[in-house]
Structure 1
């Protein structure tokens, strides 16, 4: 493109173009996405994709898959959301986010096609997520890594990533309540959406789900003649507790018998995510004729890191960031507190979006005797649950805003012992704001 016809001139203009788009269509369909990708030459058809969906655990499972493939010498692209500190994280190669110049170049390639479709389709022009997905497929189509791990944005069936025709493996991590207004209000309805990523004859790895969910997903897999591997049946794990600050567990399937492993990410649910990732990669290895090496598998899972998933950011006092942002994730966080911090006093500083059933989430946390709830707010493009209103309904919760004051109050007035623990949680948007602030403080 010559200088005069550039669609955007710099990084900020590229971001403004992306974020200035409509977030959701009134009725989600894949029609616009298919048109957009056709005009870009369908780069997604050249890629070897592992497609990952699930209510919780998508990001961590993607990270485990990435590390397992990297350890075996492959180049790996990843597509994840939301970002934690910087937008570019969403599109990464070998764990490194794309640089600003690359993003500008991609927007200059994809933007004019978006403008064409806007002129033809009016309000049905591409949404923000469709454009981000197109940028990602365009980028990986050009650099052609060995594998691309693609995380679904929302649901599965009508998600813009679901134009992938033949993934090597599809993974459904968990199915719980989230985005009810879009995906449905019952678990079978949500499961039907997630099962939308199952493709004819492509193997499916399914994590820990309820029998009613498994029934829906199995039916779709049978109909599509997709080989089906469910955690607890075709492959198994057994958590063996914390060892050297890592979650240790035993893994078994038809290739590995009682393999002792450890996850670099904390929480019993991370054992399930690591297990699903290993099964997915072992199916990739079968399809692609390479051998998984025990030593490399152990190393990869132990060194996996993922921002804001029980991520330790300070040791004195002990401060963690966790992206728990819906009921199922709060149940996992409660389990984690009971198993790992039962003897500690825990200050939970929470910023929650208003559409996430905050009262149910808080009521559950309030039952833990060693947890003190501090409710706060943060900058978000969606409405944040009002800390004051929530605190009036829960006598054991305190409202302190903004969050920096909440943190300062906990550290200077409430911490009583050096074994006390502080956990920021409630929304990935919230913890990404907290993480960015502390990272800046540490860098100065």
Structure 2
């Protein structure tokens, strides 16, 4: 059994990685052995290709502003592992993580020993830890669960939520989810439960058709963007994005988001539609004041986040084609005409060629780099895929970032993007030390 946080994390990280053994049978077996603690949790389930984390963030802040205790389960983490399981924005304490691990560890051995299902994956174990924590150690009024990958076979898909949300459907994780929008939508729509409402901002006709069919099959009420609810952008200023939201029983004018980008209006609107449903059907009333406060306070690490002001350094977690398109639109929206120096790294199993082509159009120059992660693309590979007239490569991202910051002139900016795992490392370095002191 575990006595220290290092022992606990070493055990977790030593398990089979997420996605290797899809399916929920191991989860169901282990949860049954514990008495199905997940059934005690009042949850919202959020899936989709992009915008999951931001939507979780809006819901959490809205309900926290109303005085509720709100749990969140997210992946991947940006700063520390404990962020994956939080209550009102505070990561799980080490001693509680150890306590949960000591309850889950025997089950991981038993499911392998007593069934033919095999050992659970790392992500399954982390999901189990969250169920134990929120049901047995720190119960909450509401828990927002973010899908890890896909939905249908994801280890979070053992909950029966009050409402489910599918933010959108785009091409990502094709190896695991399929090579067409229809196939990917089928996996995402797997989180729709019997007689449980589904909110979606998916706009692709094929995705909408799949989600409609699944909602009909499950007798689930469907709230579709531009049908059941809508938003209107009022533009942006120094305070952030301004918009109006309209639904059947919720009409709000001049809402303000600090998280930048027009795509955030869509994420916030998905959250607001879920809020209306929860108030109307699940006994979770909310005030307009709590909605406004929650939207305004919502902030998510690595989402067009300003890390430095002099010079301006922004990091963004765009890691697929659709996310990169949204990033380019946000750059144009806020910083058109600004000289932007880009530091770029990506995973080799992503559509990095298309992403590079998109982001190159918005920047003055590109430095391709790499980082310490098994799936990280080399700086040579990314450099070969780039076509910018001003490009270079530096395999040492910390050296490259220090150099860029030192040479960036007043009025210019540095942008770091390409991978959530990459910006996590960069964010940690920028937060923990001055730019010229980051090298060990």
TM range, normalised to the smaller chain?
over 0.9
In structure 2, C-alpha distance between the alignment counterparts of 1:27 and 1:100, rounded to whole Å: 28
Question: Once the 2 structures are TM-superposed, how far is the Cα of residue 412 of structure 1 from its aligned partner?
Answer: 2.7
Aligned counterpart, 1:3: none
Match of 1:300 among 294, 298, 302: 294
CA distance in 2: counterparts of 1:344 and 1:169, whole angstroms: 42
Tell me, yes or no, if the aligned pair for 2:192 and 2:215 is still in contact at 8 Å. Answer: yes
* Secondary structure in 1 matching 2:184: helix
Superposition deviation, residue 121 in structure 1: 3.9
Match in the other structure for 2:5: 11
Is the contact made by 1:64 and 1:301 (CA closer than 8 Å) also made in structure 2?
A: yes
- Contact 1:57–1:173 at 8 Å: present in 2 too? yes
Hey, what does 1:433 align to over in structure 2?
425
Q: Aligned in 2, Cα 1:393/1:436: closer, same or farther, shift over 3 Å?
A: closer
Q: Retained in 1: the 8 A contact 2:278–2:285?
A: no
Measure the CA separation in 2 of the matches of 1:153 and 1:129.
Answer: 8
1:353 is matched with which residue?
A: 347
Q: Does 1:198 align with 2:192?
A: yes
Partner Cα distance (1:318, 1:179) in 2: 32
Trace 1:57-206 onto structure 2 (pairs within 5 A): 57-121=51-115, 124-142=118-136, 143-164=138-159, 166-206=160-200
Runs (4+) of structure 1 exceeding 4 A deviation are 24-27
CA separation in 2, counterparts of 1:82 and 1:394? Answer: 27
CA distance in 2, matches of 1:108, 1:257: 47
CA separation of 1:290 and 1:12: change in aligned 2, threshold 3 A: closer
Deviation at 1:289, TM superposition (A): 3.0
What number of residue pairs does the alignment pair up?
433
CA contact (8 A) 1:208 1:272 kept: no
Shift in Å, 1:24: 4.4
Cα distance in 1 for partners of 2:417, 2:102 equals 37
Q: Deviations over 1:114-150 (max 9, x none)?
A: 1122223467221111111010001100122111100
Change (3 A) 1:255 1:238: same
**Using the alignment, how far apart are the partners of 2:307 and 2:290 within structure 1?**
27
- After TM superposition, the score normalised by the length of structure 2 is 0.95
Choose from 378, 392, 409 the match for 1:386.
Answer: 378
Measured in 1, the distance between the counterparts of 2:131 and 2:151 equals 17
Say whether the 8 Å CA contact 1:25–1:124 is kept in structure 2: no
Indicate the residue corresponding to 1:420 in structure 2. 412
Runs of 5+ unmatched residues, structure 2: none
Distance 2:387 2:126 in 1: 43
Match of residue 4 from structure 1: none
Under a length normalisation based on structure 1, what TM-score does the superposition of the two structures give?
0.94
Q: Distance in 1 between matches of 2:423 and 2:19?
A: 27
CA distance in 2: counterparts of 1:42 and 1:391, whole angstroms: 50
Structure 1: 5+ residue stretches without partners: 1-6
Which of 366, 369, 373 is equivalent to 1:373?
366
Deviation, structure 1 residue 339: 1.2
Q: What is the CA-CA distance between 1:25 and the residue it aligns to?
A: 6.2
The Cα offsets for residues 217-274 of structure 1, whole Å up to 9 and x where unpaired, read as: 1110011110000112111111112123311111111123352201121111111111
Distance 1:358 1:308 in 2: 19
Q: In 1, Cα distance between the equivalents of 2:20 and 2:309?
A: 46
Q: For the aligned residues, what is the CA RMSD?
A: 1.6
Deviation at 1:290?
Answer: 4.2
